[in-house]
Structure 1
Amino acid sequence: MIIELHNPTVVVFGRGKLADLGERTKSLGGHALLVCGRSAMRRHGVLDAATAALEASGVAVTVYDGVSPDPLASEVDAAADLARRSGCDVVVGLGGGSAIDAAKATAIGLREGPIGPLVGTTLPAVPDAVPVVAVPTTAGSGAEVTKGAIITDDERNLKSGIRGDRLFPAIAVIDPDLLLTMPETVAVDAGFDALAHSVEGYVARRANPVTRLLAEQALEILGTRLPRAAAGDREPGLLDDIALAALLGGINVANASTCLPHRLQQAMGSVPGVRVSHGRGLAIVYPAWLRRAQPHAEVRFATIGRLLGHDDAVTAIGKMLETIGAGGTLRTNGFAHEHIDQLVGGITGNIGNDPIPDIDLALIREIYEDSH
């Protein structure tokens, strides 16, 4: 048996821990570029609270609030340019997975220059990486503890990952109280992303006994908590649990990586004018993928099904999608049949980590056709 685990991010988890953001960040730098989306963090007062925590500890703050739901390389370049001009030496990502990914990519851009050419590559480690502090306000992506950032290169119309140990945040401040601002649609989309990380961290070829233990705990949590969160329940104990499930999923992404559904979803970014969230895109392709993957890992998929309250994973996840109101089809989410060629051509990244052996373009097309 060979097990390799690597999680260098310091995790600070607990309600009220946003108040520690300043002291934690101060240990890394004196001037923070705070990266977030365009409106939600201001509207809910989270940006003000984070800024106040940083400034109370003597950390200067410059805000870049131009991140799209699918962050663009041009936005990351603008953030890095602002950080350079302002003299920032640490980056804080505040928001969902998109904001945190943009923050991680911004830190790379500060050292490497334009970020677009780096989309789809794995970067070597360097000693002088700009540190990142990740503060998630959704429970799903686990980006606060992963070594990748999903960015769309506007020039090539390519949505893919920038990966490598340099992408690990130095610190993750996870305050479940911040999930109080999470809309139900975001709870659904992010929650299914966390569920997918747990499933894939259990069946991936790189999975190991540790990632499977983490996946089992996350699946047990999400099986009962995700439907409640999707229905609008924001009870504090529930928020603690789903934040923990997202964290466990992120650790699994960093160590076991993901399977074919993540490659299928990322390719959706290759179709201009059609935008679907990461979690919803996963939900679209999951049933078709499960039907094909389950025969190749029957025992493990059966365990997943039982952890979610059913006899098999196909039934369990199908019921979950129905209960939380996620999924749909490519067609109902804006993709025309003629887009399937673009989707197939947009596949990037590792497809050899999936339980399905010898994946080819014919199978990928079949899953998209079945999901349309």
Structure 2
Amino acid sequence: MLEFQYHLPVNFVFGCGKSDTIGKKAVALGKRALIVTGGSSTKRSGLLHKIETLLQENKVSFCLFDKVTPNPLTTTIYEGAALAAAEGCDVIIGVGGGSSIDAAKGIAFQTVNSGDINDYVFDRKFSDQALPVIAIPTTCGTGSEGNGFAVMTNPETMDKKSLRCKAIVPACSIIDPLLMTTLPKSILAGVGFDALCHSMEGWLSSLAQPLTRMQALEGIRLSAHSLGKVYDDPSDLDSWEQLCFASTLGGMVINTAGVTAPHGMEHPASGLKNIVHGRGLAALAPVIFEESISGAPEKFAIISKLLGGKDEKDCVPKIREFLTKIDLATTLGEQGITLEDVDWMAENCLKVSAAGIANHPVVFSLEDIKRIYRKAI
């Protein structure tokens, strides 16, 4: 029998130039906005000034929180929420990559739900309340514009884990491919591979269902087709549109199907050493998938074919070839991970990523996880 449930209440505004609608979308959601972003890129590009102008034109007042860093910290969430509360903000606008959008979601949640956000991250408490969020991604990988996840790291424990809540699904996500075209190649490669991993992992997940499978396969196809093209030719706007759509699809997929072992094992690495998420995935995914083919050979065969291969036997070689083409072939050792880190990461993996490990086609034990980490170093 065909039975499934799917719920994702997000309003996507997708297309070149759609960032011009930011003011109109904001005024429908609130009167005073907190703009959440990083320290420099949105200022250098002129996007921050554009957003401020559009808000002023639509009589939405605003204040700025520009302290988001890669792999955002829970302490940053607290600081942003305190500012939002003090300023009487009633809508949060996240502008930038996944870190900025995730931080915006966390701030939107924390502003309404005071106390220790880790209680909600680890499901000791529950709330379905948050301020409305507008997501404006400037990278094509995180997919955070299409789900109710906000990844954050607790600096006291180094636990990197997602806050998951329907209330932080963006009330409006404005995806404008024109905002992506100046991405440095090194960043593009990492975020693009993250998008591909979202769709591959959602496809492989034991929680996959008919709608997520459709989305995942299209996400893989579009990522495989477009990432290399924009990497070689940043002026290829058609491919930028495909890659942005692939990123959004990947975010939607994992909202329902979740992630599997690559993300589950990467989070302890970037939580511990603050490495670039996409590079951590590039180091881990091929090694993990080598150990996983037997669990779902037919699914890996389809991934291989979408990457230009023949069957499950050449799936991992095709992924490695793909990574080489975008200069992303790497190891955990090259990212600063040492053998001495393995025991902590493996134990932390089962603490923060138990669900992702359980969703994988082959469910790895603690010793399996340690062995794979060592192999990836």
Give the TM bin, normalised by the shorter chain. over 0.9
**Cα separation, 2, equivalents of 1:254 and 1:31:** 29
Q: Does 1:279 align with 2:285?
A: no
Provide the rounded CA distance (Å) in 2 between the counterparts of 1:234 and 1:103.
Answer: 30
State the Cα distance separating 1:209 from its structure 2 match: 2.3
Matched with 1:334 is 336
Aligned to 1:85: 86
Which position in structure 2 is the counterpart of 1:368?
A: 373
Cα distance, 1:114 vs. partner? Answer: 4.4
TM-score (norm 2): 0.94
Alignment of 1:352 onto 2:358: yes
Contact 2:71 2:271 survives alignment (8 Å): no
Corresponding residue number in structure 2 for 1:190: 191
Rounded Cα–Cα distance in structure 1 between residues aligned with 2:318 and 2:216: 15
Query: Which residue does 2:294 correspond to in 1?
Result: 295
Report if aligned partners of 2:81, 2:108 keep a CA contact under 8 Å in 1: yes
CA–CA separation in structure 2 for the residues paired with 1:275 and 1:117: 19
RMSD: 1.5
Instruction: Supply the distance in 2 between the matched residues of 1:118 and 1:62 (Cα, whole angstroms).
Output: 28
Amino acid at match of 2:336: G
CA distance in 1, matches of 2:179, 2:239: 13
- Looking at structure 2, the residues matched to 364 and 167 of structure 1 have their Cα atoms a distance apart, in angstroms, of 31
Letter in 2 for 1:48: H
- Aligned partners of 1:90, 1:179: CA distance in 2, in Å? 24
Q: Equivalent residue for 1:307?
A: 306
* Identity fraction in percent: 32
Q: Which residue of 2 aligns with 1:316?
A: 318
5+ residue gaps, structure 1: none
- CA distance in structure 2 between the partners assigned to 1:119 and 1:98 by the alignment: 19
SS in structure 2 at match of 1:180: coil
**Aligned-residue offset at 1:179:** 0.5
Asked if the contact 1:270/1:346 (under 8 Å) is kept, the reply is: no
Contact 2:14 2:174 in 1 (8 A): yes
1:146 corresponds in structure 2 to 147
- Is the 8 Å Cα contact of residues 270 and 276 (structure 2) preserved in structure 1? no
Deviation at 1:231, TM superposition (A): 2.9
Deviation at 1:337, TM superposition (A): 1.2
Deviation string, structure 1 residues 214-237 (Cα, Å, up to 9, x no partner): 122122222221112223523221
Q: Tell me which amino acid in the other structure corresponds to 2:84.
A: A
Give the aligned residue type for 1:180.
T
How far residue 9 of structure 1 moved from its aligned partner, in angstroms, is 0.8
TM-aligned CA deviation for residue 240 of structure 1 = 0.8
Q: Which amino acid aligns with 2:315?
A: A
TM-score (norm 1): 0.95
The residue correspondences of 1:28-177 to structure 2 (distance < 5 A) are: 28-118=29-119, 120-122=121-123, 124-126=126-128, 128-177=129-178
Give a deviation string over 1:195-216, Cα, whole Å, max 9, x none.
0011111111011222222122
Aligned AA for 2:297? E
Which runs of 5 or more residues in structure 2 are unaligned? none
CA contact (8 A) 2:130 2:168 kept: no
Alpha-carbon distance in structure 2 between the residues aligned to 1:265 and 1:327: 15
Name the counterpart of 1:18. 19
Structure 1 stretches of at least 4 aligned residues deviating more than 6 Å after TM superposition? none
